[in-house]
Amino acid sequence: MKHYKVFQYTIYPLIMLGAATTLITGMQNGYNYYLVSLTTISITGLIILFLERQFPYEKNWLTNWDWNLDLIYYMINYAIKLLAQMQFLWLSTIVTFPAIFPTHLPFWAQVILALTLMDFFLFYVHKISHKYLFLWNLHAIHHSSERLYFLNGEKRHALHQILEGAPGIIVLLFIGTPHMVLITALSILAINMFMQHTNLDYRAGILKKFFCVAELHRWHHRADYQDAEVNFGAWLTIWDHLFGTAYDNPKMARELGQIGIKEEPNFPKKYAVQFLYPFSKKIKEEAKKEGFPPPP
């Protein structure tokens, strides 16, 4: 039991520091940016997958995974990120942007700064996606999963993926952020998304006051819409604290409750239908039974 507790409290910092160190070292040593990024994300994902199977937070979530659907989402949304990175590089070579970004800082500090700036815009778009109906219809796809595991952190409608990611990336582009810094920051964010949605039974301890970990984010995925109006952050908790949406409950360790969207228990399971869901009144009606109305 003692060794298991040590494992629970050390696995998050070990995975995040290990992945970040690998990414930063690989980038600085001149290896191919995309190869370093993809390899680190893939290997880390496989490690988390193995650990989830051995030490699950919820054993019932080990079965009936939406593997095919979630893999489709991950590949499509990863391709969108790659396209955004290439456009970032192309624009930065043909347009002279103000040299505001502090490139004199150590590389790791530049990555943290870029990640923090992106994180704010991710938080804000996420937050308003729970307020405005059109954005919620796009974002609801992310909440439709009835179990959490590392892969469904990237389960997003393609349009919502663009709307969430574009503001931060555009700001970084306009202040002269190096391309390599952007790729490294996005890669670290992708790995934190694994750890934020994982079914791994870990504890973050004091770190959960600063980082958006699974212990906090699971609360955001509760099936009751009102219960889910907390913990919008993707990496840092500071934005939730500043906007009054931070929430932690010790009981959540074992009393999480139902995951998903209570108002729409028959949410479609196929990618094509989910893609059309935000724009189709018929599909939305078919997803519902008696329940609470959608957000205003």
**Which tens digits make up the pLDDT trace of 142-165?**
999 999 999 999 999 999 999 999
**Contacting residues for 218 by C-beta, under 8 A, at least 6 apart:** 57, 148, 252, 256, 259
pLDDT (tens digit, 9 = 90+) per residue, 230-276?
Answer: 999 999 999 999 999 999 987 655 667 889 998 898 999 999 999 99
**Cβ atoms of residues 57 and 200 within 8 Å:** yes
Give me the pLDDT at residue 227, please: 77
Q: What's the rounded mean pLDDT across residues 194-216?
A: 96
- Identify the bridge partners of residue 222 per DSSP, sorted by sequence position: 259
Give me the pLDDT at residue 257, please: 80
Residue 256, CA distances (Å) to 29, 77, 78, 218, 219 in order: 44, 28, 30, 8, 7
Give me the pLDDT at residue 254, please: 62
Q: What are phi and psi of 272, to 5 degrees?
A: -60, -40
Q: Look at residues 146, 138, 151 and name the one whose alpha carbon lies nearest to residue 72.
A: 151
Sign of dihedral through CA atoms 41, 240, 88, 103? negative
Give me the pLDDT at residue 67, please: 84
Lowest mean pLDDT among 50-54, 61-65, 77-81, 240-244: 61-65
pLDDT (tens digit, 9 = 90+) per residue, 11-43?
Answer: 999 999 999 999 999 999 999 999 999 999 999
Give me the pLDDT at residue 295, please: 45
Give percent above pLDDT 70 in the chain: 95
* 262 DSSP assignment: T
Give percent above pLDDT 90 in the chain: 85
Q: What's the rounded Cα separation, in Å, for the pair 155 and 165?
A: 14
Q: Give the chain's mean pLDDT.
A: 93
Give me the pLDDT at residue 296, please: 40
